[in-house]
Amino acid sequence: MRKCQEKKKKQQIMINRRDFIKKSAAASAMAAAITMIPGILFASDQENSTLTGDINWTKGPCRFCGVGCGILVGTQNGKAVAVKGDPNSAVNKGLLCVKGYHQIMCTSSADRLTKPLVKKNGKYVETSMEEALDLVASKMKETIDKHGKDSVAMYTSGQSTIPEGYVASKFMKGAIGTNNLDCNARLCMASAVAGFLTTFGADEPMGCYEDIEHANVFVLWGNNMAEMHPVLFSRMLDNRLNRKNVRIIDLATRTTRTSKAADKSILFKPQGDLAIANSICYELINNGWVDNSFVEKHVAFNKGKTNIGYGLEDNFKFNDEATPINYEEYKTFLADYRPDKIEEISGVSAKDIKYLASIYGDPNLKVVSYWCMGMNQHTRGTWVNNLVYNIHLLTGKISQPGNGPFSLTGQPSACGTAREVGTFTHKLPKGVVTNKKHRELAAKIWKVPYDRIPDKPTYHATEMFRAVDRGDIKFIWTQVTNPLVSLPKTSRFRPAMEKESCFVVVSDVFPTPTSDVADVILPAAWHVEKSGMYGNSERRTQYWDQMVEAPGEALPDAWITIEIARRMGFGDLFPYSKENHHEEIYNEYRQFHVGKKHNMAPLDILKKESGTIWPYIEETGKSTLWRFNSKYDPACDQAKDFDFYGNPDGKAVIWQRPYEPAPEMPDSEYPFWLNTGRVIEHWHTGSMTRRIPVLHQAVPNAYVELHPTDAKRLGISNKEKLKIISRRGTTILPASINERGMPTIGQVFVPFFDESMLINDVTLDSFCPISKEPDYKKCAVRIEKV
Contact residues toward another protein (CB under 8 A) are 18, 21-22, 24-26, 28-30, 32-33, 36-37, 39-43, 46, 98, 102, 105, 108-111, 690-691, 693-694, 696-698, 700, 755-756
CA angle 726, 730, 734 (to 5 degrees): 110
**Nearest to another protein of 42, 570 (CB atom):** 42
Q: In the complex with another protein, which residue's Cβ is closer, 24 or 736? A: 24
Residue among 611, 663, 613 at smallest CA distance from 768: 663
The alpha carbon torsion through 94, 98, 99, 105 (nearest 10 deg) reads 100
With the CA atoms of 286, 393, 387 and 228 taken in that order, what torsion angle do they form, in degrees rounded to the nearest 10? -120
Q: Strands (DSSP E) along 481-559, which ranges?
A: 503-508, 520-523, 532-535, 540-544
Residue 43 or 639 having the CB closest to another protein: 43
* Shortest separation between residue 399's beta carbon and another protein, angstroms: 35
How far apart are CB 88 and another protein at their closest, in Å? 24
Q: State the nearest-atom distance from the C-beta of 694 to another protein, in Å.
A: 5
Spatial distance between the Cα atoms of 378 and 270, rounded to a whole number of angstroms: 10
**Closest residue by Cα to residue 217 from 263, 286, 156:** 263
Distance CA 371, CA 661 (A): 20
Name the residue nearer to another protein (CB basis): 95 or 133.
95
Closer residue to another protein, CB minimum distance, 671 or 693: 693
How far is it, in rounded angstroms, from Cα 167 to Cα 104? 26
69 DSSP 8-state letter = -
Long-range contacts of 619-627, Cβ-Cβ distance < 8 Å, separation of 24 or more: 623/208, 623/540, 624/539, 625/207, 625/208, 625/210, 625/401, 626/206, 626/207, 626/208, 626/399, 626/400, 626/401, 626/404, 627/202, 627/206, 627/207, 627/399
Q: CA angle, corner 667, sides to 665 and 670, nearest 5? A: 90
Q: Which is nearer to another protein, 40 or 335 (CB)?
A: 40
Rounded least distance, CB 673 to another protein, Å: 30
- Angle of CA points 384, 387, 391, to nearest 5°: 145
Which one, 129 or 698, has the nearer CB to another protein?
698
Q: How far is the CB of 17 from another protein (least distance, A)?
A: 10
Strand order across the beta sheet in which 520-523 lies:
123-126, 117-120, 520-523, 503-508, 475-479, 152-156, 181-183
Residue 485 is inside which H or E element, if any?
Answer: helix 483-486
Catalytic residues: 99, 188-189, 373, 410-411
- Least spacing, CB of residue 261 vs another protein, in Å: 13
Residue type, 641: D
Least distance in angstroms from the C-beta of 11 to another protein:
14
**What's the closest the beta carbon of residue 692 comes to another protein, in angstroms?**
9
- Report the distance separating Cα 41 and Cα 34, nearest Å: 8
Instruction: Specify the residue, 734 or 746, whose C-beta has the smaller distance to another protein.
Output: 734
740 in Cβ contact with 734 (< 8 Å) = no
CB nearer to another protein: give 4 or 43. Answer: 43
- What angle in degrees, to the nearest 10, is found between the helix axes of 381-395 and 350-361? 50
Minimum distance, C-beta of residue 287 to another protein, in the bound complex (Å): 39
In angstroms, the CA 126 to CA 340 distance is: 66
DSSP H or E run through 389: helix 381-395
* CB-based contact 86:92 (threshold 8 Å): yes
Q: How far apart are CA 582 and CA 585, in angstroms?
A: 5
Instruction: Map residue 510 onto helix, strand or coil.
Output: coil
Residue nearer to another protein on the CB measure, 45 or 328: 45
Report the nearest approach of another protein to the CB of residue 239 (Å): 15
The single-letter code of the amino acid at 24 is: S
Shortest Cβ 82–another protein spacing (Å)? 10
Q: Where are the alpha helices (DSSP H) in 637-720?
A: 693-698, 708-714
Min dist. Cβ of residue 697 to another protein (A): 7
For every residue of 192-231, DSSP letters joined together read HHHHHHHHHSS-S-SS-GGGGGT-SEEEEES--HHHHSHH
Quick one: residue 411, left, alpha or beta (phi over 0 = left, psi -120 to 50 = alpha)?
A: beta
* Largest Cα–Cα separation, the chain: 93
